[in-house]
């Protein structure tokens, strides 16, 4: 709730100067829609990939890939989003391309990490019990492990989405039209109103993303708590802050 409130306040800060000669509110809203669309378009395939990879490296057959996945995650963390966007420019040119590439890269990591951590936090007895009851390994994964792991995975999704909003803002440096555009324009023309509007709008969108995913996680935890009363899910929701 706190995050959504902050998002609303920041949105007001971003939009108000528009009526007094700042960046026009209509264009700001258009950029916000583009920004949100871009972040989602990048984060959804990345999250699916991260989830799939996370499941893969926790299966007995894929366990040997685990060190490689960890190394990949650590290496990607060493490359800040700005640098990733900048490095993609020579290969893809100015525009949406570099940003989408960076979004894909940064979307995978948090979801992969959260999925691995969540699946490892599932008590082995739960899986063994499901297998003893006659579930196939795939069935146990779908019906037992993933539902128990879901709240922690949602935490990873939230981090990925907030990171995607930030990365899309940086994409303005590489020519993508996002809420970072007023910031870059303002910095170039020494127009501090524009900088403040862009910054407030970007932060507002990030808080909105955080708030929505937190609400979703709360809903999932409440439902999970009723249906299976699992200790893993409530513990997961409590400790799922940023990595």
Partner 1 sequence: MRAGEVGRALLGLVVLAGLLLPWLSVAPNRLLPGVAASGFAAISWAAPAALVAVVLAVPQRLPAWLGAPAALAGVALLLTATGWAAALSLEGLAPAARAGLGGGFWLGLVAGAALVVARAAALPGMGRAVLAAFALLTLLLLWQAGTFEALSLVVEYRAREAVVHAALLRHLALAGAALALALLLAVPLAWAGFRRPGAAGPVGAALGAVQVVPAIALFAALIPLLAGLLALLPALRSLGLGAIGPAPAVLATAGYLALPLWRSVLGGLTAADPAAVAAARAMGMTEGGITREVRLPLALPVFAGGLRVAVVQAIGLVTLGGLVGAGGLGALVFEGLAQFATDLMLLGALPIMALALAADALIRLLEHRLGGSA
Residue 239's φ and ψ, nearest 5 degrees, are -105, 20
Measured in whole angstroms, how far is the alpha carbon of residue 143 from the centre of its chain? 25
Q: Answer for the pair 95, 175: CB distance below 8 angstroms, yes or no.
A: yes
- Looking at the Cβ atoms of 75 and 133, the one nearer to partner 1 is 75
DSSP-assigned states of every residue in 113-150: HHHHHHHHHS-HHHHHHHHHTT--HHHHIIIIIHHHHH
CB of 192 to partner 1, least distance (A): 4
Binding residues for partner 1 (CB under 8 A): 2-3, 6, 61-65, 67-68, 71, 74-75, 77-83, 86-87, 89-91, 162, 165-166, 169-170, 172-174, 180, 183, 186-187, 192-193, 195-196, 198-200, 202-203, 206-207, 210, 241-243
Taking the complex as a whole, the smallest distance from the CB of residue 140 to partner 1 amounts, in Å, to 20
Q: State the minimum distance, in angstroms, from the CB of residue 155 to partner 1.
A: 12
**Based on CB atoms, which residue is closest to partner 1, 129 or 216?**
216
Helices 97-121 and 81-92 pack at an angle, to 10 degrees, of 130
Q: For partner 1, which is the closer residue by CB, 144 or 184?
A: 184
Residue matched to tokens 């960076």: 102
Nearer to partner 1, 130 or 196 (CB): 196
């Amino acid at each position: 709730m706190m995050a959504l409130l902050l998002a609303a306040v920041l949105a007001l800060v971003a939009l108000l100067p528009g009526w007094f000669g700042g960046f026009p509110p209509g264009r700001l809203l258009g950029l916000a829609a583009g920004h949100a669309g871009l972040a989602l378009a990048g984060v959804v395939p990345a999250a699916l990939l991260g989830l799939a990879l996370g499941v893969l490296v926790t299966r007995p057959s894929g366990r040997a890939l685990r060190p490689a996945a960890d190394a990949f995650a650590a290496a990607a963390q060493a490359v800040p989003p700005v640098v990733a966007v900048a490095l993609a420019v020579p290969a893809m040119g100015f525009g949406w391309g570099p940003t989408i590439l960076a979004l894909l890269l940064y979307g995978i990591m948090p979801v992969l990490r959260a999925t691995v951590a969540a699946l490892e936090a599932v008590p082995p007895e739960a899986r063994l019990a499901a297998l003893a009851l006659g579930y196939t390994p795939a069935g146990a994964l779908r019906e037992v492990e993933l539902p128990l792991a879901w709240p922690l995975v949602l935490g990873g999704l939230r981090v990925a989405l907030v990171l995607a909003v930030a990365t899309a803002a940086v994409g303005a440096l590489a020519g993508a039209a996002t809420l970072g555009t007023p910031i870059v324009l303002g910095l170039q023309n020494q127009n501090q109103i524009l900088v403040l509007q862009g910054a407030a709008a970007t932060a507002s969108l990030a808080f909105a993303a955080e708030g929505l995913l937190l609400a979703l996680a709360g809903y999932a935890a409440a439902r999970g708590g009723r249906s299976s009363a699992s200790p893993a899910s409530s513990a997961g929701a409590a400790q799922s802050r940023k990595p």
